[in-house]
Amino acid sequence: MNATAFFPESNSRVDLSCEIAGVRLSNPLVLASGILGTSAALMARIARLGAGAITAKSATRHPRAGHPSPILFDWGHGLINAVGLTNPGAEGMAAVLRQARAELAAMGVPLIASVFAASVAEFVEVARILATAEPDMIELNLSCPNVAAEYGEIFAASPKATAEAVAAVKAAVPGPVIAKLAPNVPDIGRIARAAEEAGADAITAVNTMPGMVIDIESGRPILTNREGGLSGPALKPIAIRCVYEIARAVRIPIIGTGGVLTGEDAIEMIMAGATAVGVGSAVAYRGLGVFRAIRQEMEEWLAAHGCRCLQEIRGRAHRE
């Protein structure tokens, strides 16, 4: 059954479908990794509520308990979090993905597995384990900012490291591979080009932005981990700029992610050059119905502007 069957209220005059590396999405809204993608039941629920694709939480080779609380704080202009990659490990996540894929496939909603690792060899090992669950795509989390103290420089800081991880995973697993990049690099277009040349089928841009918030009464950072990743409204202009630069540098699809709360935000991301749009912190701001709401807002905007499909506006900001 196609996912659109769950949403009879959709505007039939507007086609929101898109394609990433040969995988069709009924709409461009992708649940971002780390947001509710922790169990098959939650992933299926988000799919029923309107997501066009689901990204599971990043898996590491071995289980991780994550950082102690507090791990999340709303600082007024967005969220800052340092969850610490809590996950059941590669084998445990593969079991979750198998169950989730069975439910999502019945709805026509693609499943994206997510991998985090400390070395190229570990990226390959985890990706191979997750690939046994037959996800539609595998995303390489090359850019998580919350565990840098444990793992050192992120892969996405270097074109060479990015290319090595992408090429090794592409050679090891079937299906499309997505490179998830970081916003805090001097030339993100160069990093994206390295990923594309190494065989990446798509780019996710971007991960959260490293930051810190201090409680001025105690004089201490609010998060136990001290640093965390910024998401939500404050991240959107940064993400838009990153997507715009990547779209000028590569030909592969981009999942534009960062600060998308409304249909207008999603339209802006697509005008910057994104093929699809990641949705994460918006769940905290607008609830689980956010996917349906954003989709309806996109349809209304497109219809009001005489547009029948996303291709008519995709990359508009690049046009002379």
Active site residues: 144
70 cis-preceded (ω within 30 degrees of 0): yes
Cis preceding linkage at 277, omega within 30: no
Residue 169: half-sphere exposure toward Cβ, Cα within 13 Å: 38
**Residue 93 is encoded by which pair of tokens?**
């996540």
Instruction: Identify which of 181, 190, 189 has the alpha carbon closest to the alpha carbon of residue 255.
Output: 181
Which residues lie closer than 8 Å to 304 by C-beta, 6 or more apart? none
DSSP line for 51-109: -SEEEPPPB-SS-B--PPSP-EEE-SSSEEE-----B-HHHHHHHHHHHHHHHHHHHT-
